[in-house]
Amino acid sequence: SLQLHLGSPRAVAAKPPRREARGSRVAGLPWVAIAAGTVARRATTRREQQVLPFVEPQSGREVVLIASVHFNPQSVEKATSVTGRLVEEEQLGAVVLETCPTRWKKVESMQQPGSPLRAILDNEMQAAEDVAKGAGKEVVLGDQRIEDLFQQIGIAWKEALDDLMDPPNGWWRTGVEILQGLQLLFERKSSGGGAGLGLWDFADPKLIAGFAVAVPRYLLSTALKAPTLILVVVGLYIFSSLVA
């Protein structure tokens, strides 16, 4: 099966659950991904802006990564068209979304099919899910749990503060880790032999214009899902304005 992953560029490194999907390929989203059920030496899906086909080295299956900007109309259209095309070609095995059960349950409860919020907060993940489920294909939540992510952020923050207070050794460790991260970012290649995601993928006039819609949608979504965070940000802004 081919696996489609939908989501951000970092999703290339994500490890979706090892679950066999029916069909010949899987697609992925910010990210969506697609993975092939048969062993492939090279990716066969056409490379286009925001769409990165590659062969996952451990399973040998083809994966199609759709790098997206959350709530961007162009990302919604890209997720819908790529997933739909794979369905028509009978190549789609499953769709893997860059989210976890905790986050997805909240999205589904707030943005139910046919509801006003589903239309207002139209997004690439639910769009890909609609196409996949309409074709009877599996949808997998492939990201780590948000609870684990917050725990890791807390640990990383503490380590960063410890390094900051430990010159020069701590500063050296921080510099080395930053350089290692940049090296991984720029050296990542697709298994099909082509380059990974780059500026070309996002130099898309429709994607850039879509930010005018994506940003208000993102702010509204955050306000509805995490109102406390919005109140804190607004409070800090008002406080800084008064102090200035």
What is the per-residue pLDDT for 227?
Answer: 80
Range of lowest pLDDT (10-14, 41-45, 110-114): 10-14
What percent of the chain shows pLDDT beyond 90? Answer: 39
Whole-number CA gyration radius for the chain: 20
> Residue range 196-212: average pLDDT?
92
3-class DSSP assignment, residue 45: coil
Range of lowest pLDDT (9-23, 77-91, 195-209): 9-23
pTM: 0.72
> Residue range 25-50: average pLDDT?
64
Q: Considering Cα of 126, then 131, then 134, then 139, what sign does the dihedral take?
A: negative
Separation between Cα atoms, residue 120 and residue 20, nearest integer Å? 34
- Residue 60: which pLDDT band, with cuts at 50, 70 and 90? confident
Separation between Cα atoms, residue 113 and residue 66, nearest integer Å? 23
What is the per-residue pLDDT for 1?
Answer: 35
> With b meaning 16 or more CB within 10 Å and e meaning fewer, what string describes 145-159?
eeeeeeeeeeeeeee
Task: Give which of 133, 112, 134 is closest to 121, Cα–Cα.
Answer: 112
Whether the per-residue pLDDT at 103 is higher than 70: the answer is yes
Task: Give which of 30, 39, 33, 38 is closest to 17, Cα–Cα.
Answer: 33
Name the packing angle between helices 169-187 and 146-164 (round to 10°): 130
- Alpha carbon distance, N-terminus to C-terminus of the chain: 59
- Residue 110: which pLDDT band, with cuts at 50, 70 and 90? very high
The CB density around residue 166, as the number of other CB atoms within 10 Å, is 13
For 21, 62, 83, 228, the CA distances from 37, given in Å and listed in that order, are: 7, 8, 16, 44
Q: Which of 16-20, 126-130, 191-195 is predicted most confidently? A: 126-130
pLDDT in tens, 142-181: 888 878 877 888 888 888 888 888 888 888 988 888 888 7
Whether the per-residue pLDDT at 228 is higher than 70: the answer is yes
What is the per-residue pLDDT for 13?
Answer: 34
Task: Give which of 152, 63, 144, 148 is closest to 104, Cα–Cα.
Answer: 144
Pairing status of strand 2-7 against strand 62-67: parallel
- Residue 17: which pLDDT band, with cuts at 50, 70 and 90? very low
Mean pLDDT of the chain, nearest integer: 80
> How far from the centroid of its chain's Cα atoms is residue 2's Cα?
18
> Residue range 82-89: average pLDDT?
92
For 39, 54, 63, the CA distances from 194, given in Å and listed in that order, are: 18, 9, 14
Task: Give which of 63, 65, 73, 78 is closest to 32, Cα–Cα.
Answer: 65
What is the per-residue pLDDT for 216?
Answer: 95
